[in-house]
Amino acid sequence: MKKIVFVVLLLFISVGAVEKVSARTLPSTEDQVEVDEQQELSIKQAIELAYPPALKWHKNAQLLQAINIDLDKPGKSIGSNGKRKHWNIQFGVPDTNKFFLVTIHDGKIDDTNDLTGDGTSPYLKKEFIQMKDIKYDSPELLQKALKIGGVYPGKDWAKGYNFMLRKDTERNVPLLLVIGWNSDQTKIEAAGFNASTGEYIKPS
């Protein structure tokens, strides 16, 4: 498995690539809480939401990676239910260099972009994840990570609990990472799981 620092850099890059500022007024704090809960998606829900526009882009589109975006304001409960409001879902077409990004803000598709680059290497079949192989979702794997211990929610950067799904090509498994910090907020920590079996995979 790639180093956790690299994973978190991807998380941070995702923030810079799609960050937008939007103003929205809500009637009351009570309504705010209700809307916030509706906006939160598990990683599997976010992928399912993103798949239709990807298939519209290309009929052979398949999932490459999913990662939440660190756009939330600091708070105690971010990601504590295994869900986030902001996501980047990446798709490609096997054996081509075609690349498609679906950005989700506040639980809804905000933008879609064909980011295919000239001269980029083709994506190999082994890099893709099939939906049928995602049997464990972020809420239940977060609970497993909390039982194992050592992963705490971030406060100022990579806030709360963060989630990433990608293919571990060395093990040939869909790898779901629960990403946070150590107890004193000085070092990024993560717990990895096989999204097909729920098996814990110790980060390297």
pLDDT for residue 5: 43
pLDDT for residue 73: 85
pLDDT for residue 26: 30
pLDDT for residue 36: 52
Q: Residue range 187-203: average pLDDT?
A: 95
What mean pLDDT value characterizes the chain? Answer: 85
Secondary structure (DSSP) of 98-164: -EEEEEEETTEEEEEEE---TTPPPPPGGG-B-GGG--S-HHHHHHHHHHH---B-BSSSS-B-EEE
pLDDT digits (tens, 9 = 90+) for 139-171: 999 999 999 999 999 998 899 999 999 999 999
Which has more pLDDT, 44 or 73?
44
pLDDT digits (tens, 9 = 90+) for 50-108: 999 999 999 999 999 999 999 988 877 899 999 999 999 999 999 999 999 999 999 99
pLDDT for residue 29: 33
**pLDDT greater than 80 at residue 7:** no
Q: Alpha-carbon distance 73 to 65, whole Å?
A: 24
Q: What phi and psi values does residue 70 have, to the nearest 5 degrees? A: -85, 65
Strand order of the β-sheet with 99-105 is 108-114, 99-105, 87-92, 62-68, 162-168, 173-181, 188-194, 200-201
Strands 62-68, 173-181: pairing is: unpaired
Q: Considering only 11-25, 34-48, 65-79, 117-131, which range has the smallest mean pLDDT? A: 11-25
Task: End-to-end CA distance of the chain: give it in Å, rounded.
Answer: 6
Q: Could you say which DSSP state residue 7 is in?
A: H
Q: Alpha-carbon distance 71 to 63, whole Å?
A: 23
* 38 three-class SS: helix
Tokens representing 41 are 């998606």
Q: Residue range 27-49: average pLDDT?
A: 69
